[in-house]
Amino acid sequence: MTKFDVNETVAAVTNRIIERSKPVRETYLGRVRERATKGPKRSTLSCGNLAHGFAACGVGDKENLKGDVVANIGIITAYNDMLSAHQPFETFPALIKQAAREAGGVAQVAGGVPAMCDGVTQGQAGMELSLFSRDVIAMATAVGLSHDMFDAAVYLGVCDKIVPGLTIAALTFGHLPAIFIPAGPMTTGQSNDEKAEIRQLYAEGKIGRKELLESESKSYHGPGTCTFYGTANSNQMLMEIMGLHMPGASFINPGTELRDALTKEAAKRALAITALGNEFTPAGEMIDERSIVNGIIGLHATGGSTNHTMHLVAMAAAAGIKITWADISDLSDVTPLLARVYPNGLADVNHFEAAGGLGFLIRELADNGMLHRDVRTVYGHGMDDYMVEAKLDGKGGVERHKSPKISGNEKVLAPFDKAFQKTGGLKMLSGNLGRAVIKTSAVKEEHRIVEAPARIFHDQNEMQAAFQAGQLTEDFIAVIRFNGPKANGMPELHKLTPTLGILQQRGLKVALVTDGRMSGASGKIPAAIHVTPEALDGGVIGKVQEGDIVRLDANAGTLEVLVDDATLAARPQAIADLSGNTHGMGRELFETFRGVAGHADEGASVFG
């Protein structure tokens, strides 16, 4: 195989996605192309409509928007100053507008979208809105772009559900070019292993809240994304490896001159790829089946967030592309793990960037047949443009240099032939309990197979109470059910991580099986998550009883309750009191979402 050949499995999975998607994808592309030929309706709007559209603009921008000769960028922003990752976006619209004017165009803030922080809502009622906020963000973006005033759009978002929601919208408006502009990670604070140790000490009652809060404040200490490799930083990797970022943009810290230069560059590039220029790059045509496969490969190679087993399905569907958990699992089987970033190691994303970052990783994958090189991107054509590091050019602009051929730290970022493991960090499980996902990249080999009695809980707080009461002293598999999309919006269950970690350290064989989520921060405990069908939807997880032997085998990819089929069929479905999940913190407004939410392996979406 030459370095330009594509791995056989990668090619086969891509081809079956193409074949499976053909009818829907062709219809989608037909609509995108038809809409693209019509362009924005600025010049055909009534005078009153158009006047409303530019009433607040400066004189020069107002004149430019009276015709169709100047491109207009719509800015969709997830800015708020409560989220550290999104606070830097406060200054981005002004930078984008300035850059657009310098390039002879116009930019307007088309709309804002909500952006909630899972770090704030962990274990709280508000977390039950988190997953559905993705679809709300997509709809809010649609409202902003529905004014039909724009030739391209730029998207300001970073964290967990925000980027997937923005991507769904960008592909729904696939006739418009789209560039995602990140804010970057916060600088390195307290080490992640020290943070985890202090959390466990608190869970054991050995330190108090004051000490815990001091530790957390040292970890989350300034503007930018949290530095561990959870969903937010997995989002940034995905946007770059799928060609929606400018090359080298993902992990540059906020508040730096380079960060501002990259933001301005993205605005100017957005103008260049509109239909008014010579490089028209509508997002719906640019992102194809190969782009999606590249994203999945990147997720595996970096040990990325389990949330993307749902988000990628929903994002692809917005472009008429049908992917499955089997596709994701098969690609994991041939993708080596090249990054060790917490919780899959001690480093953070700043260490990853310093070791060579995405430029190094993309080249290693592409040169070994693990990526489709010949894809379209917002920067041009081909992934070779992304095998770079972005630097300042001395004039306030951006220049790019080829990424180093040798990793700056092979304990953080490994070359292909020295991979940390031969397969990726995510695997699909299947068996009589249904289908589930497990993140194996941080789970030691000796913990990947657990066969033990089930302990049944309908709430993560119930298990916490059992732990505090000293009732968890034997090997067990915690079955946490009625936490799926239909039951309560599928919250993340991170309260369980320190507790299960303590029990594992004590020598117990423990695992988690749940129809809820654990996200990108799931770590060393084997956790079969996103179990589908969920308990409220008739899933077998709702028939497991206390003491049943459950077997989780991450190596074989199986998840089973060791009870014969006849016995299971005869058992009644468990019933849970979910009345407490229906109101408070806005949950009553999401009743319709819970009622129509799809299965986790279908993206857990409300869009059908």
Binding residues for [4Fe-4S] cluster: 159, 226
The total of other beta-carbon atoms located within 10 Å of residue 405's CB is 10
Alpha-carbon distance of 359 to 391, in angstroms, equals 13
Q: What is the 3-state secondary structure (H, E, C) of 285-326?
A: HHCCHHHHHHHHHHHHHHCCCCCHHHHHHHHHHCCCCCCCHH
Which residue in the block uniquely carries the two structure tokens 């968890």? 472
Alpha-carbon distance of 128 to 132, in angstroms, equals 8
The one-letter amino acid at 210: K
Q: How far is CA 260 from the centre of its chain?
A: 24
Q: Are 549 and 452 in contact (CB under 8 A)?
A: yes
Give 3-state DSSP helix, strand, coil % of the chain, rounded to 5. Answer: 45, 15, 40
**Residue list, annotated binding site:** 159, 226
- DSSP one-letter code for 229: S
Which residue in the block uniquely carries the two structure tokens 């925000």? 162
Alpha-carbon distance of 413 to 415, in angstroms, equals 7
Q: How far is CA 212 from the centre of its chain?
A: 28
Alpha-carbon distance of 507 to 499, in angstroms, equals 13
Q: Are 107 and 75 in contact (CB under 8 A)?
A: yes
Where would I find the H helices in 368-505?
A: 460-468, 485-488, 496-505
